[in-house]
Amino acid sequence: FKEYVKEGKNHFTVGIGCTGGQHRSVSLVNYLYNHYKDQYKSYKNHRDKKERV
């Protein structure tokens, strides 16, 4: 991400999915969000989950 920002880019989108969207994809999104949220402005959205995130 550092090189990406150095190039002047300020928007990065990641899409992750799996069948059902309730296990691996949710776990991976949560991990990535928690890992990067303090370093970069971060948002997450679980399309198939009913709870707000």
Task: Please tell me the distance from the alpha carbon of residue 24 to that of residue 36, in angstroms, as a whole number.
Answer: 18
pTM above 0.75, yes or no: no
Question: What CA–CA distance (Å, rounded) separates 37 from 13?
Answer: 14
Q: What does the pLDDT look like over 21-48, one tens digit per residue?
A: 567 888 888 999 999 999 988 998 877 7
Measured CA to CA, the distance from residue 49 to residue 46 in angstroms comes to: 5
Domain regions of the chain by residue span: 2-36
**Cα(40)–Cα(36) distance, integer angstroms:** 6
pLDDT higher than 60, residue 51: no
